[in-house]
Amino acid sequence: MKLCWLWLLLATSAFAQQPPFRVHLLSLYHLRQVAIVPGGETYVRRQVNGGRQPVRGPLTISAQSELASAYGTTSAAIFVDGTFTISGDSTRPLHLHVPVEISAHNGELRIIGLFPTEDYVAAVLQGETAGDMPPEALNALAVGIRSYATHFRDRHKDEGFDFCDTTHCQYLRTDVSLTVKAAVEHTANELLWDRGSPLAAYYHKDCGGRTEDVAAIWPDQKSPSLISHEDPYCTRVSKPWRSELSRADINRALAAASLQVPPTWDRITIRERTPSGRARTLYFIVGNSQQHTSVAASSFRFALGRTLGWNTLKSDFYEVSGAADHVIFTGHGTGHGVGLCQTGATEMAKVGKTYREILPFYYPGAVIGSSAQAIPWTTTHDADFDIRSVNAADATSVANTAKTALSWAKQQTGLSAARPTIDVYPTVAMFRDSTGEPGWVAADTRGDHIRIQPPDVLKDRLPALLRHEFLHLLVESNAKADTPLWFREGLVLYLSGENVKPTTAQMTPSQIDDAIQSRRSEKEVKQAYAAAAALVQRLDRQHGRAQVMNWLRTGLPADLLTAPADKVAQ
């Protein structure tokens, strides 16, 4: 049974269940007006907490003044939810069943879709594959997409959203096929974990037979799960490509991208390659002279893609030949080559590999799970307990406080328990991802394991927290199997001597248990804990501490189990 301490630290992180992803929809268009057409029940709100009005027919929203609608009112934003399509003059209708927030910026509309995690994963999986992959390959990519989104969710934070809807982030389509829905449902909540954090699970179309090391493309990123290795599955089916370009087309693309090269260049050579063999740096050379200009191969490929089309140069995995007006590129693969290769994953699925076999092949060492995995713990042994930490300094700062807290808890209860282990998480995010606790919980105890947020977050609240958690450990270790939750939780709070605010809420013991277990809201949980502590306090005053502690081990009398809350301690 999981028990939690929540009184000393509130609102330090997001809830364990991820908040919706804020996605900038129709981001490539400069929209001054959009049409909303309901496809089912659809509602509009003028304010964040305002009342909803049904949308019974087409609704036009335009960026006049701040934001004006067909209803003739203006506001900072308009919120639409339900089932509907949204479109502008130059866009195809976008079918949505997630809420959108529409605001005006510099005379143009910004449309933000609020996608729950699994809806976002489904839309991206549809956009990136059209559902045209075997089921196990779709399963693998669904896990990769979910991990990538979780890792990079702050990509556009300064702009007021998480992701755009283009390939700069992850391309998405909202008309999701049944095969894509099945893959998302089959892998729901699963992520790839790299040393306790969600993996930056890059993926691409075709590696050409060898994947790329992430640091070769993005030098500020390193991971043992994103390294270059041979891909025999892709090699079986990957086809080479050839692209012949004129000097004029190349110069036009370079000029559009503001890449400067000698105007009289007549040769392109590959100066440097990545460990996988892909081009890293190109030289533009003038005749037989030593005059040349270097250009990053990735910048060159993006310049050609934006001006001449993305299939002009499909990857950086190529050779260059020809000169002057006929430069010939012959290469392999499509995309950057880091992480999962969609071509190879498809082939693996076709030969019977499951997604749990595909993912380790492309992300070696990463662990699949719904909570944080593969945390690099180091264990420090004390006479009375063990401390697991990632940072040695954290273990040192916790050790003396824990020794004092454990001794105090034993004296307070007269109880003993098996040797405990304290897990000290290095970040709040890792604590949240591992425990599944909401952000207003600072620690929890499961069995003989106490798990706490970082000491530098807890600061001077650490002693009280550890006293509380050791009380939980001792109470749980000695409680009779059917001892009610309200009694165990209330006993810990009462014994800890914490100043729990009294509550006027009328809650029965079963309502207290339900509120603590369901965690519907912080307010309700606090009321339930306060009610539980009040019940135990009255039992202690009427029957004495010895009797209350004895009931913990032997069980509460039947009349107390069935009595209403106001009769329990009478």
Tens digit of each residue's pLDDT (9 = 90 or more) over 398-447: 999 999 999 999 999 999 999 999 999 999 888 988 887 766 789 989 88
> Under a CB-based contact definition with an 8 Å cutoff, are residues 335 and 315 in contact?
yes
Q: Which amino acid is at 148?
A: Y
For residue 331, list its beta bridge partners. 241, 318
11 assigned to some structural domain: no
> Under a CB-based contact definition with an 8 Å cutoff, are residues 397 and 432 in contact?
no
According to the model, what pLDDT value does residue 67 have?
A: 57
Domain end call among 478, 496, 516: 478
Q: Binning pLDDT at 50, 70 and 90, where does residue 507 land?
A: confident
Q: How many angstroms separate the CA atoms of 278 and 332, rounded?
A: 10
Q: Are residues 132 and 253 in the same domain?
A: no
Q: Are residues 361 and 212 in the same domain?
A: yes
Structural domain boundaries, residue 294: 243-331
Q: Binning pLDDT at 50, 70 and 90, where does residue 63 land?
A: confident
According to the model, what pLDDT value does residue 4 have?
A: 45
List C-alpha distances in Å: 193 to 129, 152, 451: 23, 14, 19
Helix (H) or strand (E) segment spanning residue 35:
strand 33-45
3 assigned to some structural domain: no
Q: How many angstroms separate the CA atoms of 209 and 539, rounded?
A: 71
Q: Which runs of E-coded beta strand occur in 195-290?
A: 197-198, 203-204, 241-245, 267-273, 279-285
Q: Which runs of E-coded beta strand occur in 231-354?
A: 241-245, 267-273, 279-285, 292-296, 318-323, 326-331, 340-341
Q: Are residues 536 and 491 in the same domain?
A: yes
Q: Binning pLDDT at 50, 70 and 90, where does residue 397 land?
A: very high
Q: Which of 443, 511, 491, 493 is nearest to 13 (CA)?
A: 443
108 assigned to some structural domain: yes
159 assigned to some structural domain: no
> Under a CB-based contact definition with an 8 Å cutoff, are residues 90 and 67 in contact?
no
Q: How many angstroms separate the CA atoms of 440 and 460, rounded?
A: 17
Domain end call among 353, 369, 385: 369
Domain end call among 301, 331, 361: 331
> At 469, which CATH number?
3.40.30.160
Q: Are residues 230 and 122 in the same domain?
A: yes
2 assigned to some structural domain: no
Q: Are residues 387 and 468 in the same domain?
A: yes
12 assigned to some structural domain: no
Does 284 score more than 90 pLDDT?
Answer: yes
- Mean pLDDT score, 521-535: 84
Q: Are residues 263 and 210 in the same domain?
A: no
- Summarize pLDDT for 123-179 with one digit per residue, the tens: 999 999 999 999 999 999 999 999 999 999 888 888 889 999 888 888 999 999 999
Q: Are residues 523 and 387 in the same domain?
A: no
Q: Which residues contact 162 (CB under 8 A, 6 or more apart)?
A: 21, 22, 23, 153, 154, 155, 156
Q: Are residues 179 and 202 in the same domain?
A: yes
43 assigned to some structural domain: yes
Three-state DSSP string of 76-118? CEEEEEEEEEEECCCCCCEEECCCEEEEEECCEEEEEEEECHH
Q: Are residues 214 and 249 in the same domain?
A: no
13 assigned to some structural domain: no
The tally of domains found in the chain comes to: 5
> Under a CB-based contact definition with an 8 Å cutoff, are residues 450 and 423 in contact?
yes
pTM: 0.79
- Summarize pLDDT for 168-209 with one digit per residue, the tens: 888 999 999 999 999 999 999 999 999 999 999 999 999 999
Q: Which of 100, 62, 71 is nearest to 83 (CA)?
A: 100
- Mean pLDDT score, 554-563: 75
**What is residue 486's three-state secondary structure?**
helix
Q: Are residues 25 and 127 in the same domain?
A: no
246 DSSP assignment = -
Q: Are residues 358 and 407 in the same domain?
A: no
343-357: string of b/e by CB count within 10 Å (b at 16+)?
A: bbbbbbbeeebebee
> Under a CB-based contact definition with an 8 Å cutoff, are residues 525 and 538 in contact?
no
The residue written with tokens 């305002």 in the block is: 50
Does 14 score more than 50 pLDDT?
Answer: no
DSSP string across 297-318: HHHHHHHHHHHH-TTSS-BS-E
Q: Are residues 286 and 408 in the same domain?
A: no
According to the model, what pLDDT value does residue 62 have?
A: 87
